[in-house]
Amino acid sequence: MHLRYLKNLFISVFILSFILLSINMLIDPFATNHFFDIRGFNHSKPEAKHHDILVKLFEVYRLKPEVATLGNSRIRYGLNIEDARWNGDRIYNFGVEGAGVDEVHYLLEHAAAQGKLNKVIISIDFGSFNAGDIMKGMENFNYSLLTNTRDWNPFREQMAMLQIAMSVDTLEASLETIKFNIYNKNKNIEILPSAVISKNDYRNRFLQTEHRFLISNSRNVIFKNNSRGSMFDHFRKIIKFCYKHNIDARFIISPTHAWQSEIEDVVGLQPQLIYYKRKLVNILAEESNGSGKSPFHLWDFSGYNSITTETVPDCGSNKIMTNYFDPSHYKPVVGLLVLERVLNQNINNVPKDFGIELTSKNIEDNLVKISKDQKQWRIDHPADYRQIVQLNKLFSKSDIPYFSLCHRP
């Protein structure tokens, strides 16, 4: 009787597992296998946009890119340029929302493990070094789905695919996918959206973004903790890895809008920001000397220049900004300029003040220049600076929402 019960239990579990596996593999809500693509059934993937790291790691499994960009959402949206190429090879955008330097390190190894990666552009923004800031979408990510150059399992992709398909969470996503496709049969959506903004009230959006910055861990930057280790150690490991595997790496600090620089200064992060830039340059020089190879290039597009100081429209205006979605995220038109500067292509298209290569010889002069440019920006944009200061005061001393600033004198 006992054995019969166990046998029936085993059969029941097997059947349920098989059904779960079959449904999730068939619906493929996160675009991990692409076995079937049926309009009105599973063609659109509405749940994928919440799991872009999952979608992209399987794209890397399939595409085996030779050239890739890696980083956070700034890379994800700003360098989302169709047919961008480096020496003839198309650049794969492996930017992932919320990725810190440690996660970029793991994603780099995953891409390299596919056997073809030889060139990368890596965004190493200030916020990516904040060990205390784990953004939504990354906090519960299963890193066992990734592979690395030390993993000799030839079935890693298939095992990862099955691991996702056996999840009850995936089943919920599959049911949502079916429902969406049934009721939106003629609606075609991208697996991963290429735009982050639809409205045009930019000043309100700028205030909203900075308000989120103030209530997040981003205003309390720590470069090391017990769970993630030292973010600078991860940066060093990235450099060592690229040297070891003969990967041509170019590093960039993203062209965030001047407002982002101002809010970081207002909350007291300027000393840490200066330390971070000096540390990057020092690590690059140390690893170059230790390896006997030329240092990798580090391009700084942040600060105050003709791109990052674009005027923010007044409250209520429908004027569309050319360069930015919000103070943190630049548009692909700016991303193209970044690529052209970093790759030395069509350089005449790039403003002369946009992008400077940081080295041990010029880092201090560059920091002084940014400080002078900041003072000048505040003189030229007194209303903007006053509003940023007010935003910080309102957050610190009251519960007045950010949007009320658009109605204040």
**pLDDT at 14 (0 to 100):** 76
C-alpha distances out from residue 211 to 108, 228, 285, 405, Å? 32, 26, 37, 11
Contact between 402 and 391 (Cβ < 8 Å): yes
- pLDDT tens figures, 361-371: 999 999 999 99
* Whole-number Å distance between alpha carbons of 289 and 236: 13
333 phi/psi in degrees, rounded to 5? -65, -35
Give residues with Cβ within 8 angstroms of 278, minimum separation 6.
363, 367
Say what angle helices 101-112 and 231-244 make with each other, to 10 degrees.
20
Across the range 178-202, mean pLDDT stands at 73
C-alpha distances out from residue 359 to 282, 288, 304, 308, Å? 9, 12, 19, 22
**pLDDT at 409 (0 to 100):** 44
Most confidently predicted of 142-156, 218-232, 308-322, 372-386: 372-386
- pLDDT tens figures, 72-123: 999 999 987 877 899 989 999 999 988 999 999 999 999 999 999 999 999 9
- pLDDT tens figures, 290-312: 999 999 999 999 999 999 999 99
Contact between 302 and 254 (Cβ < 8 Å): yes
pLDDT at 275 exceeding the cut of 90: yes
* Whole-number Å distance between alpha carbons of 44 and 237: 38
First to last CA, the chain: 81
Q: Does the pTM of the predicted model rise above 0.95?
A: no
Closest residue by Cα to residue 369 from 389, 353, 347: 353
Helices (H), 216-361: 231-244, 258-266, 270-291, 332-343
**Strand extents, DSSP E, 39-147:** 67-71, 85-86, 89-95, 119-123
Q: Length of the chain, please?
A: 409
